Amino acid sequence: MSLRPILLHPDPRLKKVCPPVSSITDDVRRLADDMLETMYHAPGVGLAAPQVGEMQRLFVMDCIKEENEAPRPMVLVNPEITWKSDDNSTYEEGCLSIPEHFADVTRPSRIRMRWLGLDGKTHEQEFDGLWATCAQHELDHLDGKLFIDHLGPIKRQLITRKMIKFKRDQARKT
């Protein structure tokens, strides 16, 4: 396993719609392992393949927050939402590609998602709470959408301008 560099917004690769994964290969398993390691190391609760520059429909997540609870790493390949609740929840979201910026985003409270597992089988499960928010946030990434795209244009442009400056300062340091 190895850590992968995480792309920072703005980056054209974070704006693209990713094509589906055609089959579970060793390369896909290796990518998923690397993404989980990168996510836990960051640390974060979710990471999508395009965030490490891999244009494929795949994300990882683990929303276990309690320190005494066992980790629950999940890998979702070709995920799709099969049902959304009518009621919404608002969470303060962040993103490993937009570090140190947070904003309230409203999304359906519960969703049902279907995906291909690394075992090659189709899985379907209902998510609620932080898991539902995270799964929708990560699925957005596979469609080239960031959480700031759910905000108004002024807030979005402010964060984008700060990120451009942040990236410029980082590039100068290295």
With CB under 5 A as the contact rule, which of the stretches 5-13, 61-69, 93-101, 120-128 interacts with Ni ion?
93-101
> Among residues 97, 99, 109, which one has the least CA distance to residue 145?
97
Which of 24, 95, 111, 116 binds Ni ion (CB under 5 A)? It is 95
**Does 14 contact Ni ion by CB under 5 A?**
no
Q: How far apart are CA 116 and CA 58, in angstroms?
A: 9
Give the count of residues interacting with Ni ion (CB under 5 A).
1
Two tokens at 153?
A: 């244009």
Sequence-distant (6+) residues with CB within 8 A of 37 are: 1, 2, 3
Residue 122: CB minimum distance to Ni ion, A: 25
With CB under 5 A as the contact rule, which of the stretches 6-14, 56-64, 92-100, 165-173 interacts with Ni ion?
92-100
Instruction: Give the residue numbers marked as catalytic.
Output: 138
Q: How far apart are CA 88 and CA 16, in angstroms?
A: 27
The SS3 assignment for 109 reads coil
User: Nearer to Ni ion by C-beta: 116 or 140?
Assistant: 140
The residue nearest Ni ion at its CB is 95
Residues that bind Ni ion (CB under 5 A): 95
